[in-house]
Each structure stands twice: as structure tokens, then as C-alpha cells.
């Protein structure tokens, strides 16, 4: 029997994902919610979406609640997405004076890891023996687990420089043809954790660059302001904050200095 999602049930899931992840889901997403959650309703042998909602909000099904969050969040990325940001980072690294302090980058909505590994390849190439660290985080435990494998379809690597593909990746053969695996040495330099940006952040230290790209489009204005404020507390004075090219900080934050399109700088301490 087909299970249908009523308007009342949909509104409950809208509130659920907003409270859980800060995501403002429009009414146009009703069919998406229905298609993504229907499998879980059947898997748990429940008669309705309403019963599934009660299950994940009962307090005793933390793993199923996380599964629902994973299913209701969108993760789309590829290597060296929005290349001008990586061109800027290349120039920033080239101009950096040698220091014993690690250069730290946070990919704050890292999805399956392509952004974090793109950055890692660039840092490994430009900094040589100088210390550096990459931290990748995402709301979805499913994509964090995927990111940790470092295993990707070659279709996601169209913008990956050939020299990086040869130096930092192993091309699959046989059953793995059409895929690539980031080398173990590089994977060991990138740490991935599940982090909900809509909640108080863990103590992860200070970063020189924070990527928050193509995620604010899912937040309402208040959530955007709160998320940006939290992340800026983790940005070094003089550090850079990068957002998606279709996003803006207008009306969200006025403390940052605009450097280039979708690139901002946190003022250095006087």
C-alpha cells in the first residue's frame, strides 16, 4: 500500500529539520521529504509518516533520528569546486612566510570530502615540509563516513589538476575502474568529524581559513547570522572566510572585510 505524506505531517518534518539542523525547508520540498523518508517508514514497518515522526522524536531512537537528518540534507560537491577560491588560496600560501605554526583550514560543510581533499592537495603541494592541518565537518554522519574513505568517482574530478591526480590519487582498475582513492598519506592529514553548525561548536581551535560554501542557502536569516558568528570565533584574526559564489553576507555580518567575490578577511587585532 502506498504511503502518502499529508500537509500536517510535512509541516512537522519542516519543524523537525529546522530544529535539528537549522535548515529552512520550503513548501516545495514536500515531494522530496516523501521520497527520501518513505523507505525508512517501510523499513520500520510503520503505517504512516506521522508514526515515523513520532518514532524519531520520541527520544529513544537517536540513530534513526540521525538517519532522518542524513536523508533530509542535500550533499553536492566535487573537486576544486569554484576554482577562484583555490586560486586565491594558492596565492595566499605562496606569500606566506615560513613558520612553525601549522596552517589550519576548516571545511565546515565538507559533504563527502572533496573540498577538504582539494585543499589538502594544494597545501601539500605549496607548503612542502611546513606543518598544516585540515579539519572537515558535516551534519550528516553518512557523508562523514564516506569522506573518511577518500574513495571517489572520477566523474567528480573534472577540475582536479592532472599533476595532483597523479601525485595524490590512485586510479582504480578492474572492479574499481572509474574511481580513485586519495593516497593514504594524504588521508592521514585530513580529519573528519560530525558537527552541527546550528548548535554550539566543539572546541576545535583557531583556523587560518574557513570554508562555509553552498550551505547558507538552506538557512533562514537568524540561523545564518548565528552560524557565521560561531565560525568567526574559530577564525584567526587576519584569517579568511570563504562562502559560495551565490551566497552573501549582506545583512548577516558586517565585521568582515571583503577581499574578492565570496572571500572575506577577519580584521587583525590592532
Distance between CA atoms of residues 248 and 162, nearest Å = 32
Are the beta carbons of 203 and 226 closer than 8 angstroms? Answer: no
CA distances for 86 relative to 89, 91, 242, angstroms: 5, 9, 10
Catalytic residue among 12, 36, 148, 265: 36
Q: How many CB atoms lie under 10 A from the CB of residue 247?
A: 16
Residue 262 DSSP one-character state: T
Q: Which three cell numbers stand for residue 215?
A: 550551505
Active site residue 51: no
Catalytic residue among 70, 81, 104, 138: 138
Q: Which three cell numbers stand for residue 221?
A: 536569516
Active site residue 138: yes
Distance between CA atoms of residues 191 and 106, nearest Å = 10
3-state secondary structure of 192: strand
What are the catalytic residues? Answer: 36, 138
Amino acid at each position: 500500500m502506498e504511503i502518502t505524506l499529508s500537509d500536517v505531517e510535512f509541516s512537522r518534518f519542516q519543524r523537525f529539520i529546522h530544529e535539528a539542523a537549522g535548515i529552512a525547508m520550503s513548501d516545495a520540498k514536500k515531494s522530496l521529504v516523501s521520497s527520501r523518508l518513505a523507505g525508512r517508514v517501510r523499513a520500520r514497518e510503520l503505517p504512516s509518516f506521522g508514526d515515523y515522526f513520532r518514532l524519531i522524536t520520541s527520544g529513544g531512537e537517536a540513530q534513526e533520528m540521525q538517519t532522518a537528518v542524513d536523508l533530509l540534507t542535500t550533499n553536492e560537491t566535487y573537486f576544486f569546486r569554484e576554482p577562484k577560491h583555490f586560486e586565491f588560496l594558492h596565492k595566499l600560501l605562496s606569500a606566506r612566510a615560513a613558520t612553525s605554526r601549522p596552517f589550519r583550514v576548516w571545511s565546515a560543510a565538507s559533504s563527502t570530502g572533496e573540498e577538504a581533499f582539494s585543499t589538502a592537495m594544494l597545501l601539500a603541494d605549496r607548503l612542502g615540509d611546513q606543518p598544516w592541518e585540515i579539519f572537515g565537518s558535516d551534519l550528516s554522519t553518512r557523508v562523514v563516513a564516506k569522506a573518511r574513505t577518500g574513495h571517489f568517482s572520477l566523474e567528480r574530478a573534472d577540475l582536479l589538476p592532472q599533476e595532483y591526480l597523479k601525485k595524490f590519487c590512485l586510479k582504480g582498475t578492474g572492479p574499481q575502474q572509474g574511481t580513485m582513492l586519495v593516497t593514504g598519506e594524504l588521508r592521514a592529514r585530513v580529519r573528519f568529524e560530525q558537527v552541527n553548525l546550528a548548535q554550539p561548536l566543539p572546541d576545535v581551535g583557531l583556523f587560518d581559513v574557513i570554508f562555509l560554501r553552498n550551505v547558507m542557502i538552506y538557512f533562514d536569516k537568524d540561523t545564518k547570522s548565528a552560524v557565521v558568528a560561531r565560525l568567526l570565533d574559530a577564525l584567526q584574526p587576519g584569517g579568511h572566510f570563504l562562502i559560495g559564489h551565490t551566497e552573501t553576507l549582506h545583512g548577516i555580518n558586517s565585521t568582515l572585510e571583503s577581499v574578492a567575490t565570496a572571500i572575506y578577511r577577519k580584521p587583525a587585532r590592532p
